[in-house]
Structure formats: C-alpha cells, structure tokens
Amino acid sequence: MRISSPERVARLLEQVAQSNLPLLVRALSLPTVAVKGRAIPIKGAIADHGFKIGSISDRGLKFLLENSSGGIMVEFVLMSSKVEFYTTIATLSDVACTVSLPNYLLSIERRKNARFQVAGNARAFMSIDSWEPDAEDLATVPFFESSSELGSLIPVGDVSLGGISLVSRFPSICKVFDRTPMEEIGQFYLPMSNPISIEGSIRWSKRVKEVLQDNGVNRIVRSYRFGVQFMNPSEELLKDIQVFIQKASQAEAI
C-alpha cells in the first residue's frame, strides 16, 4: 500500500519517532548493506525539522558518509507490516543523521505470523521439561556433566508470534518429538530475558541433508528440524518475541 498524503506520512513518522523504533538505512548505491539505527523524537513538527535517526555505529556513519549521496532507503517493521521510504540525508553528524520527509511511504503487509531467521548475536533456545541429555548417549550434543543444563538447550532456527522452529544436528532429540502426544511444555530463552514457560504443539518434523563446501571439499551435514506452535501464548511471551523480532531483523546490519 502506498501512503502519499503528506499529513499521513508526517503523522506515521512522528509516531515512529516517539516510539524510538529500530530501523534500517540502506544506501541506494549499495543496497545489500544495511545500517542499524533508531528513530529519535524531536521538538516541533517533523514536517518542519525532518526525521532524525540515531544510535548509528561508527561503521554505519562512515558507510553512509561514503555511499549515501545518491539517496537512501529507510525501513522499519511494525506489528503487521514493513514500511519503506526513499529519501536523502539532510545532515549527518558523528551522533545522528536527519533525513528529509519522503513524498510517500510503502507499507508492505507481512503474512500472518511471518517468521524471522535467528542469526548473529540474536540467538534463542528452548528446553523441554520432559527431556534431559544423557552423557552416555552418543547421539546427543556433547556436554560436561557439570553443565548438563546447557546440553538441554535446543537452538531455535526461526521465530514468529505463532511459534518457532527448532534445529539440532544430534538425533537424540528425535526421541522426544517422534512420540505421542505431540504436546510439550518447556522453557523459552531469549537474549537478556528471563526464561518463559511455554506450552507448544509439535506440528511437523524434518530430516534435512545439506551439502556444504569446505576448502573445495563437499561435506554432507544432517540436521533435524521441528516446528512448534504456541498453545495459549501469554502476553509476556508475545511482547518479548516482538522485541526479539525487531533485533533479529537487524542482526546482519552494521
């Protein structure tokens, strides 16, 4: 959807600024590189003073200084849509940049419960209450008995407000997910958050074989993936996931 009314454009960007929303900035000359930032509230009307972006790293500022002369694209994620707009940088300092108000916004509706890949420093894990790793089981992840709780953490592959996928290269976890009933209770671990108790239904499982190239040699890697649908998710869980999705969407940016 294209939002071209100047009043609606200014009103939406003012709401984004007041929310201090995370966003990404891309130079049109090199759009594959994303720069992380945050919208900054300003005094006065945004139509008169422009849209201000802060929390930009030194690398990000250097990149924009060298590559933004041909224009930029700014994007941010709302609950049910992603918004993009094209503009130019009016001022760029060592702490922030101010961009001109765009002529229009592009609002791209995301599918319900869109999934976001977990990568970089934005990692998440889940443990299953009914399963603990066995140190004598050769099919389980290696761990020291003094820290067996770490061995019980199953990496999350992607996350949405409706559920998560779990990924493991060790087949011992299949003993849990291949049995019935297909409902499990566990703890969900997100960065910088306390574990959240969740109830989930196992909707699907896959055995995946990938061929990876290592120094010119093909290597076969097998992994085991499981889809978990949240059952009656709490408000706390949904709020924490929304914050995590914001971080995950910026994981590969500078």
Output the pLDDT for position 132: 80
**β-strands 96-99, 89-92: how paired?**
antiparallel
How far is it, in rounded angstroms, from Cα 98 to Cα 112? 33
Tens of pLDDT, residue by residue over 56-76, are 999 999 999 999 999 999 998
CA dihedral 3, 8, 13, 15 (to 10 degrees): -130
Query: Chain centroid to CA 21: how far?
Result: 14
Nearest to 140 by CA among 31, 224, 244, 235: 224
By three-state DSSP, how is residue 253 classified? coil
How far is it, in rounded angstroms, from Cα 106 to Cα 138? 52
Omega of the bond leading into 171 within 30 degrees of 0 (cis) = no
Close Cβ partners of 16 (under 8 Å, ≥ 6 residues apart): 23, 39, 76
Tens of pLDDT, residue by residue over 154-202, are 999 988 888 999 998 888 888 777 664 557 788 999 888 889 998 888 8
Q: From the CB of residue 171, how many other CB atoms can be counted at a distance below 10 Å?
A: 16
DSSP 90-143: EEE-SSEEEEPPPS-EEEEEPPTT--EE-BTTB--EEEETT----TT-TTS---
How far is it, in rounded angstroms, from Cα 215 to Cα 62? 33
How far is it, in rounded angstroms, from Cα 205 to Cα 224? 7
The answer to whether residues 73 and 117 touch, using CB atoms and an 8 Å cutoff, is no
Kindly give the confidence (pLDDT) of every residue in the chain, 254 residues in length, as a single tens digit, with 9 standing for 90 and above. Answer: 888 898 999 999 999 999 898 899 999 999 888 999 999 998 888 888 899 999 999 999 999 999 999 999 999 877 667 789 999 999 998 888 999 999 999 887 655 566 777 776 678 999 988 888 877 777 778 777 766 777 788 999 988 888 999 998 888 888 777 664 557 788 999 888 889 998 888 888 888 887 777 777 888 888 889 889 999 888 888 888 888 877 777 766 78
The answer to whether residues 26 and 37 touch, using CB atoms and an 8 Å cutoff, is no
Helices (H) and strands (E) in the chain, counts: 6, 16
Q: Can you give 179-232 as a three-state secondary structure string?
A: CCCCEEEEEEECCCCCCEEEEEEEEEEEEEEEEEEECCEEEEEEEEEEEEEECC
